[in-house]
């Protein structure tokens, strides 16, 4: 199993709200660097979504055709772990495909 797959599977099985404040305010609808450089832009944040809920949001975004947003939701699921977040980012389309193929059947 690839690192990004392990990170996504962990998130899928995580039903706890984020424990770290930086995870609550992790932006998912715009690039993190853009959010920092453009604080006036409205952002959609992770808030109290569990890792599982982030994966569900990713699957729904992928189904809607927004693969970029799907990837950002998967990264938000690992907001507390920069290494795993980078694994997901670098896997890109493969990470989105993995989430959809492994867990999409369980998401209405």
Tokens of 35: 């959010």
**pLDDT value, residue 37:** 74
Distances in Å between the Cα of 97 and the Cα atoms of 45, 48, 49 are: 23, 25, 21
Angle between helices 93-103 and 3-12 in degrees, nearest 10 = 40
pTM: 0.87
**pLDDT value, residue 22:** 81
**pLDDT value, residue 91:** 97
pLDDT tens, 67-96?
Answer: 999 999 999 999 999 999 999 999 999 999
Question: Which residues of the chain are under the pLDDT cut of 70?
Answer: 30-36, 39-43
**pLDDT value, residue 107:** 96
């Amino acid at each position: 199993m690839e690192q990004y797959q392990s990170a996504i599977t962990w998130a899928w099985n995580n039903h706890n709200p984020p424990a770290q404040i930086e995870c609550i305010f992790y932006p998912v609808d715009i690039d993190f660097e853009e959010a920092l450089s453009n604080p006036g832009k409205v952002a959609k944040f992770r808030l109290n979504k569990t890792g599982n809920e982030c994966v569900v949001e990713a699957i729904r975004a992928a189904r809607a055709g927004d693969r970029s947003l799907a990837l950002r939701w998967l990264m938000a699921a690992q907001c507390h772990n920069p290494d795993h977040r980078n694994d997901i980012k670098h896997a890109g389309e493969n990470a989105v495909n993995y989430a959809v193929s492994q867990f999409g059947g369980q998401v209405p």
